[in-house]
Structure 1
């Protein structure tokens, strides 16, 4: 078998749709897919999928963790990574991941980092862990630029296990079980409730208590069937480079269709790309271009974006060399099938002696989904949002043994748990925000996904 730096590299059939290959392994324990959407640019070039992590090298954080538990969780991740880290910065095959840590951090994992805690009533058996990360000894990595796919594994993986994976991937694919909604989506904030919360935020903003607060509502529907079928149905609507799917257990799953990178690390080069500023797209090309120009010229959206850029510069500065923080681009227009976004890019250089886990922890949760200043905004979110965010506004990430890391912000994200499907949407409120516009923006962001699921189940939804 070909190998490099304690590794084996086995070619596999390339499939532009990663979900086809992932379907072959997803019934193995803790299967995870990091799905780039078949792009060829760096952000959308690779898909990574894996399963059956090492049970002795894992970390899980229960719902409603306290500060001590969160500190122990991140210490555990640092310890696992130190134990498996290799000195070679890249391999012959130029793959971003060839064994290492993968998993997610929920927004609630970040609350104790800022002196807060999730509501106790959310600490139920159905709630997702606040964090779940495993050490994966093998992975399937697809490169859309070169249209290649390979199984990579370290020497601890028995040959029999590799043969089983190859057999699963190469055999004829079985269709996924069906999925259907049993009700339409309902929100935990009706228009009047949202307006009341908006007025409270507006009061804090005009009192100088904060500069921006991200206020979200949560949608809920009953379902039956396989959540992965729902993910596959929604994936074409997203065209997102930071999507992913994770089976937590037989009753719970995470479906993420995120367009937003949180933090990436390659060598010591750090980058983050916050999204602030959103408009729905039009099917009329002329109107669509006009909407994009309006977004790029919106003083409110530009100011909102700039506030988060400043916040993230400070967050990165906690672990980057003094003077290394740079704003590489401001307010770049990124267009997706359903929305236009403004995206900025900030870079830095990781200090010697600091780790990828330190960088992730000290910047978490992402400022684009809290507001500024971060701690005060999170306090206001905890006061006004009626339910915990759980996995929403957290992060899916990988950290390769080589030290390379990439992560997303889990927006455009659904949680399936015990026959209930949850989906959140929010937006940043600033002093000149208008309630009706901000409320509508939450629907612009996830409405196409919710309507698609409802339409697919329309004939079976009770009226």
Structure 2
């Protein structure tokens, strides 16, 4: 897959961004080890992986080594952080104030054809859009106080990237070149960058062995008192009885101390709860505050691949059983639960309606319905909804049509969002937003930011919610939030307790 000069010249004539790739054989070091070795966890870097059901790792892992810049925000206005690409060149002028307008402008300026034989991510934007992005999509009253300490969005314009192909043991070393008239200089500069990155691979070693932690029992502080959460569920019942909504999702935040590095938290989460969307983002806000987002989300908001749009609603849950027999009983109970089935059906209908806004009429269909999918601590009911992306639509149009996920808001969405603002004591921050990538070639893959920890200084925060319907039992909904938060909280506790295997 190594890019030839002729291929580079042809691609430069077709779009403003060209990814130059050099493929090497690597089978002795993991993506996590390479990430740790090359980036040392510095801001502007990331690691994206994926595990299918049963903990089988998917074909590609992505290690982001550097970025041209970062689209973030401060005081609800867009900010461009220049890491080698000026604001003037990035946007053709000043960055638009509204965050989604800035995202539209950046995508429109740098959209470029992506060869189908390349991995799904080689150039584009990687990061997150937080929950409060919804305020650019819906007319909502003033937001609750944001206590997260991190910006409402942070999207890296990827420059240097490692793509692990676990099927072939090839490592694709990639650098994104911004096209100018001097193709000779650009080609030589790209080769020099690839030389430097490839040389750094030679000194990469497996991570040092660690002793299994003696204790992994988390002891978080709850942002919402137990009784107040139960009262919120009862107030949710009131809104449902009055006909405001059919369902509303109420969440709570768990705060805990973190002394481990973000990489070690990710390592523990990767071991404890392999999920379809695994991510480690090390970032920096406009004021220089460093923070990390570490997660293992089971749920996509939406995916665009080769002009096809995919949504996978998840609603309905049970804890995993201690034995295969107990596990099967929990699954049978989940499938037989009328309340869970009704909630799930509502969200499947919502996904169909959302996709219909950006897909070619008549192409939206439910391809899988109410399957039980199992994860380390929890099982869910999952369906799949698909459609063909309408001509002229972009991945950002798809995001606008589908965000926020009905599984994180409730339905109907506009009134549910107002009720969430009324019932929750603080802003959601990253929770309930999306994490993933928007490729300049037109593909995107955005996970819902759940089962996710936000690390700022020595504090880690995990948030989880429960879908409240007419017959919800308050204590059961509280217990559901605890189950959903268990994996990242256990990972943090385990990472804090890690010690070298050989002292």
TM-score (norm 1): 0.89
Change (3 A) 1:17 1:429: farther
Give the 3-state SS of the residue equivalent to 1:365 in structure 2: coil
Contact 2:255/2:462 (<8 A) preserved: yes
1:149 counterpart (168, 171, 175): 171
Q: Tell me, yes or no, if structure 1 residue 72 matches structure 2 residue 98.
A: yes
2:372 aligns with one of 316, 330, 333:
333
Unaligned runs of 5+ in 1: none
Name which of 216, 220, 223 aligns with 1:188. Answer: 223
Question: Is 1:61 paired with 2:92?
Answer: no
Stretch of structure 1 that moved more, 5-14 or 361-370:
5-14
- Residue in 1 aligned with 2:387? 348
Alignment of 1:140-219 (within 5 A): 140-156=162-178, 158-173=190-205, 184-219=219-254
Decide which structure has the larger Cα Rg and report it.
2
State yes or no: 1:103 paired with 2:117: no
CA gap of 1:39–1:21, structure 2 versus 1, over 3 A, is farther
Check conservation: 1:177, 1:225, Cα contact below 8 A. no
How far the C-alpha of 1:175 sits from its partner, in A, is: 5.1
2:111 pairs with 1:85:
yes
Q: C-alpha separation between the residues in 2 aligned to 1:31 and 1:459?
A: 23
Once the two structures are superposed, what CA deviation does each residue of 1:119-174 show, in whole Å capped at 9, x if it has no partner?
Answer: 4642x7x7211111122133211233444321122445633332332233331348
Q: Is the 8 A contact 2:111 2:442 kept in 1?
A: yes
Q: Where does the alignment leave 5 or more consecutive residues of structure 2 unmatched?
A: 12-17, 79-94, 179-188
Q: CA RMSD in A?
A: 3.0
**Deviation per residue, 1:300-341 (Å, 9 max, x gap):** 111111111111222222211222211111111111121111
TM-score by length of 2: 0.82
Q: Distance in 1 between matches of 2:331 and 2:477?
A: 17
Q: State how many pairs are aligned.
A: 452
Pairwise CA distance, 1:288: 0.9
Instruction: Show CA shifts across 1:266-314 (max 9, x none).
Output: 1221001121111111221111111111112211111111111111222
Aligned to 1:224: 259
Structure 2 CA distance for aligned equivalents of residues 304 and 420 of structure 1: 34
Aligned to 1:132: 154
Alpha-carbon separation, structure 2, partners of 1:335 and 1:415: 24
Match of 2:346 in 1: 307
Using the TM superposition, give the Cα deviation of residue 236 of structure 1 relative to its aligned residue in structure 2, in angstroms. Answer: 1.1
2:273 matched residue in structure 1: 238
Shift of 1:98: 1.4
Change (3 A) 1:172 1:396: same
Q: Which residue of 1 aligns with 2:45?
A: 31
CA distance, structure 2, for counterparts of residue 456 and residue 159 of structure 1: 38
Q: Separation in 1 of the partners of 2:271 and 2:259? A: 22
Shift of residue 454, structure 1, vs aligned partner: 3.4
